[in-house]
Amino acid sequence: MNLIEHKKARFNYDFLEHYEAGIELLGFEVKSVRKGNGKLEGSHVVVRDGEAFIVGMSIPPYQPLNTPQSYDPERTRKLLLTKKEIALLAGFEGQKGLTIVPIALYSKGRTIKLSVAIARGRKKHDKRRVIKERESRREIERTLKNK
């Protein structure tokens, strides 16, 4: 079950590979995410010194009055991946035109996982083509449904 989803990611990027990562969160952040609060838009994953981090993800506090004064909702959070996966992500991150994009934050059992993908950004004409294909598919489905 997706708790938070990056809805525009599938439209703005072509995904090459998908990975599942754990994420380090504070207790009140977990409560906030389980409630559905948070934003993945504008965030990306970086690999530094053999560790992966998500930058730009926003998780507002669950109870603002009970949250520490020093809490930053946009703080950089560490991702939990194997060394092999981190090495692969670092290799892809170095390639021109590729980025590591978070797709969804979801619960798996008692843990919260982040789905990330290695992605290539779409150009404007690619986005138009996707919209045109979607519209034509809908039109075909409508005509078949009416007959």
Which own/partner contact pairs does 59-65 have at CB distance under 8 Å and 24+ positions apart? 59/25, 59/29, 59/32, 59/33, 60/32, 61/28, 61/29, 61/32, 62/28, 62/29, 62/31, 62/32, 62/35, 62/37, 63/28
Show the domains of the chain with their CATH numbers. Answer: 2-122 (2.40.280.10)
CB 117 within 8 A of CB 18: yes
- pLDDT digit string, tens, across residues 76-92: 999 999 999 999 999 88
How many Å apart are CA 79 and CA 71, to the nearest integer?
A: 19
* Greater model confidence, 127 or 147: 127
- pLDDT digit string, tens, across residues 25-66: 998 899 999 999 999 999 999 999 999 999 999 999 888 877
